[in-house]
Structure 1
Amino acid sequence: MYKLSNRTFYFKSLLYFYSGKILSRNHHVTIVGGGNEIGQSVALLLRTQPLISKLIVHDTVKHIPGIVLDLSHIPSNSAIEGYVGHDTLETAIHNSDLIIATGVSQNPGLSAKAAFNLNIEFIKTLAASAAKVTPVPFIGIATEPINILVPMAAEVMRNNGEYDPKKLFGITTTDFLKAQALYATDNGLNPENCTVPIIGGHSNETIIPLLSQTKPSRNLDPKKIEEFTAKLRSQELIANGMKGWSPTLSTAYGVSAFVRGILNALQCRPTILHAYVENNDFGTSYFAGLLSVDQNGAGEMQRYSNLTQFECDLLERSIEQLRKDVAKGKKILEFA
């Protein structure tokens, strides 16, 4: 161990952190996979969060002590700890209120299949260890592919100890923020005043922007709607095609926004988050959207009426793909 001592309700809830109305700051947050680029960026963004009393960074890479030392040079009232190695994972997440999984530190040139297999083992190990923590902590998974790995993590936890479906989340906040930024840019608006609901899943085949429900609304023609949807869905593919680079900064920002929301919920304040959770209300067992969260976990997911035919068609295809993704996540364990 290494120890060194927006207009929408969604964004308004995050601003409570700066209002000074803090009930308690005794929350421990652990970043598992804290040595990779996303993990380091998340740690940096969380280092000065006033509701975190202890920030823990865990990974199997040897440079964790250096990361912790670097972070300790940022003035903060919170303690910071670092752990290295598989055998320290259970110690690192013990007493955590929130565990964030960012993924495995990967070398350049690693194939998509090899990266997928590494992330499978990463989430299996984390989920099995997290199932032994009592009380059950909140768990946010930002490891790709989220559509597959979150259902897999749920099954691992069911088989290894405690599991609370209300406390396991796939972090899809980045999709919500990305749509907000793109919509504002396309329409010459202030992004802080824009809301673009996103439902479905977290892949280029399952992300569904509901442009019929945007605020402020714009009368977009069918071609513009199709172009926006294609652009939003293609961002990940474009990023993945840029060798030696991946969208770590926006992902880390989305993760940090998710963390702030969960901490807000733990403060018994009304919170709305965008996440991928176990939910049987939409024709599949897992679904992403805006949902209420309190200190006990996920609550109701927001529903929308008067969807366009284009959105209904996207939803139908998305649900079909989500069913396949969920089944794949559960099937992985049969060959473990």
Structure 2
Amino acid sequence: MVKVAVLGAAGGIGQPLSLLLKLNANIKELSLFDVVNVPGVGADLSHINSDATTETHLPSSKEDKTALLTALKGANLVIIPAGVPRKPGMTRDDLFNINASIIKSLAEGIAQSSPDAFVLVISNPVNSTVPIVAETLKKHGVYNPSKLFGVTTLDIVRANTFIAQLYPTDSKPTDFNVNVIGGHSGETIVPLYSVGSTGKLYEKLSEEQKKTLINRVQFGGDEVVQAKNGAGSATLSMAYAGYRLAESILKSLTSSEEVVECTFLNLVPEIKGAEEAKKLVGGLDYFSLPVKLGKNGIEEVKYEILTKISDDEKKLLEVAKEQLAKNIEKGVSFATQ
């Protein structure tokens, strides 16, 4: 039984994410933090007759750090959906300057109040915000790369759904678990349809269909932003994706079976397979790959998948690597200024 803290719990992602977490039998305490509206969210959730208790934490002013530190105290798992949502015409990079400061401040709170927690970063742009969290935790001397996760699970969720939609009579989204590697924005997202159970279905598609499918996975967020017509971005699907990764981490704490998920991680020597992975991705310090989860976080990087991809996917990977290098550097520079 664990304590989970949600930072940004009153937002478009934070509310449905908190609802899903409230229903998880492994969670004993749900700690909700936000700078606005969070008491109402907590009161609403507290009426649900699941076992998890809810506590809310609202700062009394911009200078008040007590609410954040109290929310985080004793947390085993911290999920960060905080930040400004993407609006029509906005790229993830447009969000950077606003969200980077928010993320850095929250990471400082984690360093002080829950340094041993698993940390899941949802706030965009993930390719840059994860390095910000890492550098901030390093600065405080509490960094554990095995416990830092960039949530790229939405790309997998979309990849599963979109290929199933092309074969409605033969398959359903839950049949698949496509590995999506690289990063979490645009062309840094590389779905590996050629590997695993989707391989034969993918090969049946025309070149134009393949191109459209890949593009839809890479830019699925734009599809939602346009459909909401200025009223929001991908919040419900992102909440589900964040919950799925959190659920897998909680499962790995108690289950003896192997739990594997893709996540955007720091490729450091302390993690098994990370050095091999780093060589295969051109020396990048951060990359999304399937990892084996365990009681201490990321136990192993399943880098072998990089040796099985198709020639077309190798080309996508080259584009992704070039963009990712800039995104990562942007985050590291911000955090170390």
Specify the TM-score bucket, using the shorter chain as the normaliser: 0.7 to 0.9
Partner of 1:89: 68
Cα drift, residue 268 of structure 1: 4.6
Q: CA deviation at 1:315?
A: 0.7
Shift of residue 53, structure 1, vs aligned partner: 0.4
1:57 maps to 2:32:
yes
1:231 corresponds in structure 2 to: 216
- Which of these residues, 210, 218, 224, is aligned with residue 192 of structure 2? 210
CA deviation after TM superposition for structure 1 residue 239, in Å: 2.9
Which structure 2 residues correspond to residues 295-310 of structure 1 after superposition, within 5 A? 295-302=295-302, 303-304=304-305, 305-310=307-312
Indicate yes or no: 2:13 matched with 1:32: no
Which residues of 2 match residues 212-291 of structure 1 at below 5 A?
A: 212-216=194-198, 217-218=200-201, 219=203, 220-241=205-226, 242-269=229-256, 270-279=258-267, 280=275, 281=277, 282-283=281-282, 284-291=284-291
Name the SS for the 1:104 alignment partner.
coil
SS at match of 1:75: coil
Show the counterpart of 1:191. 173
- Residues 306 and 263 of structure 1, relative CA distance in 2, 3 Å threshold: closer
Q: Which amino acid aligns with 2:301?
A: M
Which residue number corresponds to residue 161 of structure 2?
Answer: 181
Q: Structure 1 residues 36 and 105, CA, compared in 2 at 3 Å: closer, same or farther?
A: farther
Hey, what's the Cα distance between the residues in 2 that align with 1:82 and 1:100? 15
Quote the offset at 1:244 in angstroms: 1.8
- Counterparts of residues 61-140 of structure 1 (less than 5 Å): 61=36, 63-85=37-59, 86-87=64-65, 88-104=67-83, 115-133=95-113, 136-140=116-120
Secondary structure at 2:209 match in 1? helix
Contact 2:4/2:78 (<8 A) preserved:
yes
Farther off after superposition, 299-308 or 181-190: 299-308
Amino acid paired to 1:60: V
CA contact (8 A) 1:59 1:84 kept: yes
- The residue type paired with residue 38 of structure 1 is I
- Is the contact made by 1:35 and 1:105 (CA closer than 8 Å) also made in structure 2? no
Q: Give, as a single letter, the amino acid of the residue that structure 2 aligns with 1:155.
A: E
Any idea what the Cα deviations from partners look like across 1:281-314, whole Å, max 9, x if unmatched? 2221111122111011112222323322111111
Counterpart-to-counterpart distance in 1, 2:308 and 2:45: 48
**What is the letter of the counterpart of residue 234 of structure 1?**
F
Deviation at 1:319, TM superposition (A): 1.1
C-alpha contact 1:198 1:208 (8 A) present in aligned 2: yes
Letter in 2 for 1:258: L
What are the residue-to-residue correspondences of 1:296-335 with 2, within 5 Å?
Answer: 296-302=296-302, 303-304=304-305, 305-335=307-337
Cα distance per residue 1:9-65 (max 9 Å; x no partner)? xxxxxxxxxxxxxxxxx200000000111101101111121000001100111x211
Contact 1:200 1:319 in 2 (8 A): yes
Q: Using a 3 Å threshold, how does the CA distance of structure 1 residues 260 and 65 change in structure 2: closer, same or farther?
A: same
In 2, Cα distance between equivalents of 1:224 and 1:137: 43
Root-mean-square deviation (CA, aligned residues, Å) is 2.1
**Shift, 1:98, TM fit:** 0.2
Report the CA distance shift for 1:205/1:226 in structure 2 as closer, same or farther (over 3 A): same
CA distance in 2, matches of 1:313, 1:210: 12
Residue of structure 2 aligned with 1:144, choices 121, 124, 147: 124
CA 1:312/1:106 → structure 2, altered by over 3 Å: closer, same or farther?
A: closer
Classify 1:166/1:186 alpha carbon distance in 2 versus 1 (closer, same or farther; 3 Å).
same
CA deviation after TM superposition for structure 1 residue 108, in Å: 7.5
Q: Which deviates more, 179-188 or 277-286?
A: 277-286
User: Is the contact between residue 72 and residue 114 of structure 2 (CA under 8 Å) also seen in structure 1?
Assistant: no
2:85–2:233 CA contact under 8 A, matched in 1: no
Could you tell me whether the CA contact under 8 Å between 2:264 and 2:288 is conserved in 1?
yes
Tell which deviates more after alignment, 190-199 or 204-213.
190-199
- Identity among equivalent pairs (%): 30
> Which one-letter code corresponds to 2:129 in the other structure?
L
Secondary structure of the 2:233 match is coil
Q: Is the 8 A contact 1:183 1:196 kept in 2?
A: no
In structure 1, the partner of 2:292 is 292
Gapped regions of structure 1 (runs ≥ 5) = 1-25
Deviates more, 1:104-113 or 1:132-141: 104-113
SS at match of 2:101: helix
For residues 139 and 194 of structure 1, the distance between their equivalents in structure 2, rounded to whole angstroms, comes to 26
Q: TM-score normalized by structure 1?
A: 0.86
Query: Are 2:164 and 1:159 equivalent residues in the alignment?
Result: no
